[in-house]
Structure 1
């Protein structure tokens, strides 16, 4: 399959008001898709949709709160009423929350898991039945992270949610095989991409969490590719039917190999030396 297979179809992308989601919306429109720009920040969604229309594309901005199943159901109803069958669903919306596990409030935990995990689950629940019933080739992609192949303290709520999304995507892939549905499933594992995730992310009140946020945000700003460039790498892989979709293949392979070796050895959790240094922690022998 190639990008031509997506042309003329309808793309629904959550978290499309900025970052990778915005990039995916713009690239999908450039390839002739009708794009639903879904985001909780409706002003951002409208801005992206307007830019697409100004460039000759078709786009519809819709406000959605993916942490609320009813809001996702309303999104699905709006899309099907406006444009009919959905060709591409990208469950992309996500948040970053920093803090020690026991210091995050109930509200912070619920918000993070509801957006990052349940948002994708209910996105599939709301859209997949009609996609299957249509009997036409279609694509579902869930935005996880290379963090889903590793571990990182302070980012616990985010990291565990991305592990969960990889597992969810794997099981969904197998379920589509059992149903013999012409729907391809992908897990997107972005590497360093300069988005608003650390700017918009919440933290606990301790200075360590705030320092970690500043450090991670600075790293992405210095080394991260743009959301648009990430989307240019991501969408062709989705169209090709790849399950593992990466913005930085070499980093992804390295992370996957490291995870496999760690599990094979049943090793204790540990961080690389360079990460420890970056967090200001002492290292044996230094």
Structure 2
């Protein structure tokens, strides 16, 4: 069955829905007939998105949500179930990036990123999984990690480690649902290049020449060669609906990264700089 046959008439909760992949997912979900609950810390973005979805004949509920706040996630669940009675799909998509050397990134920035990128996913799953399991209906939980969950990168340590953590948590959650014989399918989403605002919005605590060049390089790469958020949303929802655990926007890139990671671990190799990162360092 295709995604419309599986999801039409059901309700999706999408965090980080105000822009980028989250917005793309919300628009695609609404287009196939889902009710969409839009969660984001930036209220005006999800308010505008909800108006657009409803103008096109869909149903959308914007809920201002800081996923780093457990009480806010509880309120999100209350709003979703209060309005629609059930949730068939949860996409924990909210996440932020930061760029800088690990020792130069402030404690507040480290804590904020890990709270959003890791705790937000964990508590989102914990809260919504309870409701899904109680309903006894088939449900879907998708956690957005990154292709970075299979790699490493200097000056992106907070982001990279958070995405490794999301992947590991999602693997464990998948096994827990198997152990319970629950009708909840769990997916790990590993997007590669998607044209989002993530580097525009990324906070930096120190704007050295190297850091600024890296930001510009990464922003240019996703802007020029990345999928649009709608294209990413289509690919991701197709993958979730197919029942896949591994969901990718760029399957060949994901397979290549997975093989490289496997070889690296099998050989217990030392971490190595990628060519682009090394070139930037030499120019510093």
Q: Would you call these one fold, judging by a TM-score over 0.5? A: yes
| Counterpart residue number, 2:139 | 138
Counterparts of 1:204 and 1:251, CA distance in 2: 31
| Counterpart residue number, 1:118 | 119
| Counterpart residue number, 1:227 | 229
Q: CA deviation at 1:281?
A: 2.6
Q: Give matches, 1:14-29, under 5 Å.
A: 14-29=15-30
**Secondary structure of 2:109's aligned partner:** helix
How many residues end up aligned between the 2 structures?
281
Q: CA deviation at 1:50?
A: 1.0
Q: Deviations over 1:14-52 (max 9, x none)?
A: 000100000000000111100001110010001111111
Counterparts of 1:204 and 1:224, CA distance in 2: 26
TM-score (norm 2): 0.97
Counterparts of 1:81 and 1:148, CA distance in 2: 35
User: Which of 239, 251, 266 is equivalent to 1:237?
Assistant: 239
TM-score (norm 1): 0.96
Counterparts of 1:206 and 1:63, CA distance in 2: 31
| Counterpart residue number, 2:68 | 67
Counterparts of 2:183 and 2:2, CA distance in 1: 15
Counterparts of 1:245 and 1:191, CA distance in 2: 11
Q: CA deviation at 1:126?
A: 1.2
Q: CA deviation at 1:276?
A: 2.4
Counterparts of 1:80 and 1:268, CA distance in 2: 48
Counterparts of 1:74 and 1:187, CA distance in 2: 25
**Secondary structure of 2:130's aligned partner:** helix
Counterparts of 2:233 and 2:278, CA distance in 1: 31
| Counterpart residue number, 1:267 | 269
Superposition CA RMSD, Å: 1.1
Unpaired runs of 5+ in structure 1?
none
Range that drifts further, 197-206 or 139-148: 197-206
| Counterpart residue number, 2:2 | 2
Counterparts of 2:98 and 2:86, CA distance in 1: 35
Counterparts of 1:56 and 1:112, CA distance in 2: 36
Counterparts of 2:193 and 2:217, CA distance in 1: 13
Range that drifts further, 204-213 or 45-54: 204-213
Q: Deviations over 1:53-81 (max 9, x none)?
A: 11111111110000111111111111111
